[in-house]
Copies of this chain bind each other. A is one copy, B any other.
Amino acid sequence: MDTKKFLLQENDIPEAWYNVAADMINKPRPILNPGTKEPVREEELYPLFAKELARQELNQTDAWIEIPEEVRDMYKIWRPTPLARAFGLEKALDTPAHIYFKNESVSPVGSHKLNSAIAQAYFCKKEGVTNITTETGAGQWGAAMSYAAAAFGLELAVYMVKVSYHQKPYRRSIMQTFGAQVIASPSMSTKAGRKILTDNPNYQGSLGTAISEAVELAMQTENCKYTLGSVLNHVMLHQTVIGLEAEKQMEMAGEYPETVIGCFGGGSNFSGIAFPFLRHKLTVGRNIRIVAAEPESCPKLTRGQFQYDFGDEAGYTPLIPMFTLGHTFSPAHIHAGGLRYHGAGSIVSQLRKDGLMEAVDIPQLETFDAATLFARSEGIIPAPESAHAIAAVIREAREAKLEGRPRVILFNLSGHGLIDMAAYDQYFAGDLMNYELSDEDVSRNLEGLEKII
């Protein structure tokens, strides 16, 4: 019988994270202080982030950054995660493609997000921080940060995007079970939230708004730092344990992926699976395609503009060089809440600009078609976010069938969907729809941006 899963031992957990910026010829442009338009210095980030995280954020020289023993020790709770061959899906598609997936859904909170949550909580704790704030979309990141905060004895306040707060009450409950305080965003607890609610009392929130609120609360609370689950370079860095493990596991399988696919919101799970493989392209010229799968309704990589923009709605963050739809872009209420973000991080945006990766955008219904096929053929109900990667894989596998060639495809199953079943209910009831954007929809929020690039 064929081997289905390629399993590592605890001592195979990587000892260092991979910092792709060190190997990029065109470095990501610097993030800018919005007042001076000068590159942000490390010290300027200290009020917001733990110092070590600020250091990691700006590091473009060290390709490898050691993972502290305490973090690796916590990773052992669920890592290494399995790499699996999707024989069931291959059979269902009748494709010659060899489809592999890294299964990050086996984490206790059900997604890859814990990889960075543990690291961020550790560095905060180490520097004597007592309180942290964060935002969450669908709740995957918030759930992860809640457990990480509990594990390191930190108090946590989570701003959860209002539409998800109501769509996904179980994720709220998970955060509360771990002891976090959860606030629906926009809220009246911050200036940013109050302004938005005054202008538009029924606004259902966005990641950009929730970030504004979390940043504001962190700045106003003593001994408090802000944490973010995506977009930033240090988050991508922590997530590279995914791809580094997968690299060893693909060797065990005796194959090398010609295409690596991840769903794309701000870039955390995508970068985690892709950067370690991209390294082979950057350093030894290996031929490999890297594909980001984003929602049709939030297509920053396929239809956005490469531009300096804020990371949040209110404009509290530094200016980030990103493929963006504009920081005031309000994404449709798709169930893949974790992908409802207006911009891509600076590294991914540079890679995209330089043609070192590709992107596809996928309609919501196609993602649920893909998710259902995957569930029935592989037994795992994927998160609506991860379903975007699966849909992109299915497109590739169908092409492989037309070609009659066994393409080797690797994707990241970033999370399971057991806490997103209301979305599946709506899909089966025929109540879900696609959200196609006109060119005007796409460009509307880009007009106000300063054209620095």
A residues near B, CB below 8 A?
1-5, 7, 9-10, 69, 72-73, 76-78, 84, 88, 106, 108-110, 114, 147, 150-151, 169-170, 173-174, 176-179, 372, 375-376, 378-381, 416, 418-419, 421-422, 424-425, 428
Let me know if A7 and B4 touch, CB within 8 A.
no
Q: Which residue of B lies closest to A416 (CB)?
A: B108
Let me know if A72 and B1 touch, CB within 8 A.
yes
Let me know if A178 and B1 touch, CB within 8 A.
no
> Hey, which chain B residues are within 8 Å of A147, CB to CB?
375-376, 379
> Hey, which chain B residues are within 8 Å of A4, CB to CB?
10, 73, 76-77
Complex Cα spacing A293 to B133, Å:
39
- What are 26 contact pairs spanning A and B, CB under 8 A? A1-B72, A3-B10, A4-B10, A4-B73, A4-B77, A5-B76, A77-B84, A77-B379, A88-B151, A108-B379, A110-B418, A147-B375, A147-B376, A147-B379, A150-B376, A151-B379, A170-B421, A173-B421, A173-B424, A176-B425, A176-B428, A177-B375, A177-B381, A177-B424, A177-B428, A178-B375
Let me know if A174 and B72 touch, CB within 8 A.
no
Let me know if B1 and A5 touch, CB within 8 A.
no
Complex Cα spacing A419 to B378, Å:
20
**How far in angstroms is the closest Cβ of chain B from A418?**
5
Q: Which residue of B lies closest to A150 (CB)?
A: B376
> Hey, which chain B residues are within 8 Å of A69, CB to CB?
1
Complex Cα spacing A3 to B72, Å:
11
> Hey, which chain B residues are within 8 Å of A9, CB to CB?
7
> Hey, which chain B residues are within 8 Å of A416, CB to CB?
108
Let me know if A174 and B418 touch, CB within 8 A.
yes
Knowing A5-B76, A9-B7, the reply to whether A109 touches B177 (Cβ < 8 A) is: no
Complex Cα spacing A224 to B397, Å:
36
> Hey, which chain B residues are within 8 Å of A418, CB to CB?
110, 170, 174, 418-419
Taking A77-B88, A88-B151, A108-B378 as known contacts, 20 extra A-B pairs with beta carbons closer than 8 A to each other, sorted by chain A number, are: A5-B10, A7-B9, A108-B379, A114-B379, A150-B376, A151-B379, A169-B421, A173-B422, A173-B424, A173-B425, A174-B421, A177-B372, A177-B375, A177-B376, A177-B381, A178-B375, A178-B376, A418-B418, A418-B419, A419-B419
Complex Cα spacing A190 to B7, Å:
47
Complex Cα spacing A114 to B9, Å:
24
> Hey, which chain B residues are within 8 Å of A77, CB to CB?
4-5, 84, 88, 378-379
> Hey, which chain B residues are within 8 Å of A72, CB to CB?
1
> Hey, which chain B residues are within 8 Å of A173, CB to CB?
421-422, 424-425
**How far in angstroms is the closest Cβ of chain B from A401?**
22
Q: Which residue of B lies closest to A144 (CB)?
A: B379
> Hey, which chain B residues are within 8 Å of A428, CB to CB?
176-177
> Hey, which chain B residues are within 8 Å of A176, CB to CB?
424-425, 428
Complex Cα spacing A424 to B114, Å:
21
**How far in angstroms is the closest Cβ of chain B from A12?**
10
**How far in angstroms is the closest Cβ of chain B from A365?**
15
Complex Cα spacing A379 to B148, Å:
8
Complex Cα spacing A151 to B106, Å:
21
**How far in angstroms is the closest Cβ of chain B from A113?**
12
Complex Cα spacing A108 to B108, Å:
12
**How far in angstroms is the closest Cβ of chain B from A103?**
9
Complex Cα spacing A84 to B10, Å:
12
> Hey, which chain B residues are within 8 Å of A179, CB to CB?
376
> Hey, which chain B residues are within 8 Å of A151, CB to CB?
88, 379
Knowing A109-B379, A147-B379, A378-B77, the reply to whether A421 touches B177 (Cβ < 8 A) is: yes
Q: Which residue of B lies closest to A1 (CB)?
A: B73
Complex Cα spacing A376 to B180, Å:
11
What are the nearest 3 A-B pairs in CB distance? A173-B421, A4-B76, A170-B421
Let me know if A422 and B170 touch, CB within 8 A.
yes
**How far in angstroms is the closest Cβ of chain B from A94?**
15
> Hey, which chain B residues are within 8 Å of A3, CB to CB?
10, 76
> Hey, which chain B residues are within 8 Å of A88, CB to CB?
77, 151
Complex Cα spacing A10 to B249, Å:
14
Complex Cα spacing A395 to B36, Å:
61
